[in-house]
Chain A
Amino acid sequence: MEFLSPSTLEEALEAKSALPEAVPIMGGTDVMVELNFDRRRPPALIDLTRIPELAEFGPEDGRIRLGAGVSYTKVIEHLSGRAPALAKASRSVASPQIRNRGTVGGNLGGASPAGESHPPLLATDATVELASVRGRRRVPAREFYLSLRTTARREDELITAVLLPEPSGPQQFAKIGTRNAMVIAVTSFSLALDSERRTVGTGLGSAGPTPLRAEAAEEFLSEEFDWEGGTSPSESVVRRFGELVAAAARPIDDQRGSAEYRRHALSVMARRALSWSVTDYRKGVTRCA
Chain B
Amino acid sequence: MRVSFNVNGEDVTADDVWPGESLLYVLRERLGLPGSKNACEQGECGSCTVYFDDVTACSCMIAAGQAQGRRVRTVEGLSQGRGAERELSTVQEAFVEAGAVQCGFCTPGLVVQTDDLLERTVGAGLPAPDDAQIREALAGNLCRCTGYEKIIEAVHLAAGRRSGGGA
Which residues in A have some Cβ–Cβ distance to B below 8 Å? 1-3, 5, 25, 27-29, 31-33, 35-37, 41, 44-45, 47, 49, 73, 94-98, 100-101, 180-182
CB<8 Å pairs between A and B, sample of 27: A1-B19, A3-B63, A5-B68, A31-B63, A32-B22, A32-B43, A32-B61, A32-B63, A33-B41, A33-B42, A33-B61, A35-B20, A36-B42, A36-B60, A45-B19, A45-B63, A94-B140, A95-B46, A96-B116, A96-B140, A97-B43, A97-B49, A97-B140, A100-B55, A181-B136, A181-B140, A182-B140
* Nearest opposing residue in chain A for B116, CB measure: A96
List the A side residues contacting B68 at CB < 8 Å: 5
Q: Is A29 touching B140 in the complex (CB atoms < 8 A)? A: no
Q: How far is the CB of B110 from chain A (nearest CB, A)?
A: 12
CA distance A5 to B56 in the complex (A): 22
Q: When A and B form their complex, which 9 residue pairs have the shortest distance between CB atoms, in order from nearest?
A: A95-B140, A181-B139, A3-B19, A36-B41, A3-B65, A32-B61, A28-B61, A35-B20, A33-B42
Best-surrounded residue of A3, A45, A47, A182 (most CB of chain B within 10 A) = A3
Closest B residue by C-beta to A25: B63
A37 partner residues in chain B, CB cutoff 8 A: 41-42
What residue of chain B has the Cβ atom nearest to residue A28's Cβ? B61
Contact flags B31-66 to A (C-beta < 8 A → 1, else 0): 000000000011110100100000111101111111
Set of chain B residues within 8 Å of A3, measured between Cβ atoms: 1, 19, 63-65
With A3-B1, A36-B22, A180-B139 in contact, do A27 and B61 touch (Cβ < 8 Å)? yes
**Does A96 lie within 8 Å of B20, measured CB to CB?**
no
Say what secondary structure dominates the interface of chain A: mixed
B61 touches A29 (CB 8 A): yes
What 0/1 pattern do residues 1 to 35 of B give for CB contact below 8 A with A?
10000000000000000111010000000000000
A2 to B46, CA, bound (A): 28
Given contacts A1-B20, A32-B60, contact A94 B55 (CB under 8 A): no
Cβ–Cβ contact A47 & B66, under 8 A: yes
Known interface pairs A5-B68, A100-B56; A182-B49 also in contact (CB < 8 Å): no
Chain B residues packing against A (C-beta within 8 Å) = 1, 18-20, 22, 41-44, 46, 49, 55-58, 60-66, 68, 113, 116, 136-137, 139-141
Q: Inside 8 A of A1's CB, which chain B residues have their CB?
A: 18-20
Report chain A residues within 8 Å CB of B18: 1
The one of A33, A35, A73, A182 in contact with B139, judged by C-beta atoms closer than 8 angstroms, is A182
B49, B63, B137, B140: the one within 8 Å of A28 (CB): B63
Partner of B56, one of A44, A49, A97: A97
- Taking the closest CB of chain A, its distance from the CB of B135, in whole angstroms, is 8
In the complex the two chains form, what is the Cα distance from A31 to B18 in whole Å? 15
Cα A100 to Cα B60 in complex, Å, equals: 14
| B65-A47 in contact (CB<8A) | yes
A97 to B43, CA, bound (A): 8
Q: Tell me whether A47 and B55 are in contact (CB under 8 A).
A: no
**Complex Cα gap A28–B64 (Å):** 11
B20: chain A residues at CB < 8 Å are 1, 35, 41, 45
Q: Determine the chain A residues whose CB is within 8 A of the CB of B64 once the complex forms.
A: 3
* Beyond A97-B113, A181-B140, 4 additional pairs, beta carbon < 8 A: A1-B18, A32-B61, A47-B63, A47-B66
Closest to A23 in B: B20
- Residue of A at shortest CB range from B49? A97
Cβ distance A91 to chain B, nearest Cβ, rounded Å: 10
How far apart sit A262 and B141, CA to CA, in the bound complex (Å)?
A: 28
A35: chain B residues at CB < 8 Å are: 20, 22, 63
Out of B42, B61, B62, B137, which one reaches A96, CB within 8 Å? B137
Q: Tell me if A49 and B66 are in contact (CB < 8 A).
A: yes
**Inter-chain contacts of A98 with B (CB < 8 A):** 43, 58, 61, 140
- B56, A96: Cβ atoms closer than 8 Å: yes
State which of A25, A33, A44, A73 has its C-beta within 8 Å of the C-beta of B43.
A33
| CB–CB B61/A45 < 8 A | no
Which residues of chain A come closer than 8 Å to B1, judged between CB atoms? 3
Cα distance, A184 to B46, chains bound together (Å): 17
Compute how far the CA of A36 lies from the CA of B45 in the bound complex, rounded to whole angstroms: 15
**Which B residues touch A45, using CB under 8 A?**
19-20, 63, 65
